């Protein structure tokens, strides 16, 4: 009898201790859950156009409207190169000095045109006297005046050509100056090298890299998914932790005959991080035309191949199953028995989900 009473007492004590521990654990879990919910960012469920992701390859290219390719005005020999590839130059800064026999020819042409103008001016003065004396007709006088005007036009062209050459210290030298401020992104010139005025390769290319393009190549099957102002996200090998964003600013409505792709451009404010010819992985968010409920991607929790979101319910939260239909760069679009404007946890959603289910 005493043994039975003793066993009963021990069982009661163990039961009370276990009950106390369970209650204490429940309170601790509840406290942790409340703390996580308070710290989480709560965002309303929205109904919005469904966006899907299109992954494309491309490259960074310069803005042609803020770049200048400098070609030789005359053939010659390079005396001096004042800049190197990658240098920043200001508008009007000296880039190179060239020794050119063609400049001598241009100066000779200018002097000849100048002498021709003086000669034609004398002819006009003489013609005036002949007209007064009746020895020259008005028609012949007009022809003489026209000859003078032609000579003046030729002189002006020769003068402008000499100004374009930017003559140096010596008569057979001319200088090349930067036409705009920017970076030297191409340089095909070195001291003592020779070139012809007819060469097709630029001596320098100067580009303002504060604004730049990201060009993506779109295959024929994806052309119908692309529209102006679609959101674009760019990543590069050089900056794996940085995502550059913009919108499609131009669609080049021509297919490359070799690659069968169409080019789309995104204009970016650059701060000189991105360089022309960099490889770029380009993600485009395109609209499918559907309207669905959406939450930020960080709000979706995956468990046993199913998707859940943590929905606020009073001071607490519950996990609700959803069917994700599409995922964009920022949002997941889903079906489920959930009303718009309910609030979901976007920060530490997985931790809250685990706390709810423990």
Task: Please give the pLDDT value at position 327.
Answer: 84
Structure token digits, residue 217 = 């190549």
Residue 276, pLDDT > 80, answer yes
Per DSSP, what are the bridge partners of residue 176? Answer: 96
What integer pLDDT is reported at residue 342 of this predicted model?
87
pLDDT band at 259 (very low <50, low <70, confident <90, very high): confident
Q: How far apart are CA 154 and CA 113, in angstroms?
A: 6
Q: Is the pLDDT of residue 16 over 90?
A: no
Half-sphere exposure of 105 (CA within 13 A, CB side): 7
pLDDT at 19 over 50: no
pLDDT band at residue 17 using 50, 70 and 90 as cut-offs: very low
| Structure tokens that stand for 23 in this block | 């209650």
CA distance 217 to 264: 7
Question: Residue by residue, what is the 3-state secondary structure of 287-339?
Answer: EEEEEEEEEEHHHEEEECCEEEEEEEECCEEEEEEEEEEEECCCEEEEECCCC
Instruction: Name which residue leads in pLDDT, 20 or 142.
Output: 142
Q: How many of the other CB atoms lie within 10 Å of CB of 268?
A: 21
pLDDT in tens, 67-99: 999 988 778 889 999 999 999 999 999 999 988
For the residues 49-66, what does the mean pLDDT come to? 89
Q: What is the DSSP string of 222-278?
A: GGGG--TT-EEEEEESS-TT--EEEEEEEEEEEE-TTT-EEEEEEEEE-TT-S-TT-
Note the Cα 85 to chain centre separation in Å: 21
Region 317-321: what's the mean pLDDT?
A: 87
The first and second tokens of residue 167, run together, are: 């003559």
Confidence of residue 337 (pLDDT cuts 50, 70, 90): confident
**32 close to 316: Cβ distance less than 8 angstroms:** no
Q: What percent of the chain has pLDDT over 70?
A: 84
The lowest-confidence range among 31-40, 219-228, 264-273, 277-286 is 31-40
43-57 tens-digit pLDDT? 889 898 888 888 999
Average pLDDT over residues 281-310: 88
pLDDT at 52: 82
Structure confidence at residue 29 (pLDDT)? 55
Q: What is the pLDDT of residue 194?
A: 86
Average pLDDT for the chain? 82
Token pair for residue 78? Answer: 């390079």
Mean pLDDT calculated for residue range 284-308? 88
The number of residues in the chain equals 358
Contact (CB, 8 A) for 282 and 327: no
Selection from 270, 265, 261, 262 nearest residue 284 by Cα: 265
- Whether the pLDDT of residue 102 is over 80: the answer is no
The pLDDT-based confidence of 349 (bands split at 50, 70, 90) is confident
From its phi and psi, is residue 286 left (phi > 0), alpha (psi between -120 and 50) or beta? beta
Residue 93 has a pLDDT of 94
Question: Cα separation of 96 and 106, whole Å?
Answer: 20
């Amino acid at each position: 009898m005493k043994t039975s009473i003793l066993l009963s007492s021990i069982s009661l004590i163990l039961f009370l201790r276990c009950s106390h521990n369970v209650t204490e654990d429940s309170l601790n879990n509840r406290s942790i859950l409340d703390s996580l919910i308070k710290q989480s960012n709560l965002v309303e469920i929205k109904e919005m156009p469904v966006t899907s992701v299109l992954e494309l390859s491309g490259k960074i290219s310069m803005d042609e409207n803020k770049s200048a390719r400098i070609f030789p005005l005359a053939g010659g020999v390079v005396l001096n190169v004042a800049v190197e590839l990658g240098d920043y130059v200001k508008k009007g800064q000296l880039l190179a000095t060239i020794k050119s026999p063609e400049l001598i020819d241009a100066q000779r042409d200018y002097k000849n045109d100048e002498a021709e103008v003086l000669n034609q001016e004398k002819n006009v003065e003489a013609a005036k006297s002949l007209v007064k004396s009746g020895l020259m007709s008005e028609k012949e006088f007009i022809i003489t005046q026209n000859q003078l005007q032609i000579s003046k036009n030729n002189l002006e062209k020769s003068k402008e050509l000499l100004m374009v050459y930017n003559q140096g210290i010596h008569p057979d030298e001319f200088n090349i100056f930067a036409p705009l401020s920017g970076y030297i992104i191409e340089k095909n010139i070195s001291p003592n090298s020779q070139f012809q005025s007819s060469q097709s390769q630029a001596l320098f290319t100067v580009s303002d890299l504060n604004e730049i393009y990201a060009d993506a190549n779109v295959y024929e099957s994806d052309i119908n998914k692309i529209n102006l102002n679609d959101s674009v996200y760019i990543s590069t090998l050089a900056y794996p932790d940085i995502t550059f964003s913009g919108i499609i600013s131009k669609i080049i409505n021509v297919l490359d005959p070799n690659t069968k792709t169409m080019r789309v451009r995104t204009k970016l404010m650059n701060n000189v991080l991105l360089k022309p010819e960099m490889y770029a992985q380009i993600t485009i968010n395109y609209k499918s035309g559907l309207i669905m409920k959406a939450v930020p991607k960080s709000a979706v929790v995956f468990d046993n191949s199913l998707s859940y979101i943590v929905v606020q319910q009073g001071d607490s939260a519950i996990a609700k199953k959803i069917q994700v239909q599409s995922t964009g760069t920022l949002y997941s679009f889903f079906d489920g028995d959930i009303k718009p404007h309910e609030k979901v946890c976007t920060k530490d959603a997985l931790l809250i989900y685990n706390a709810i289910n423990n």
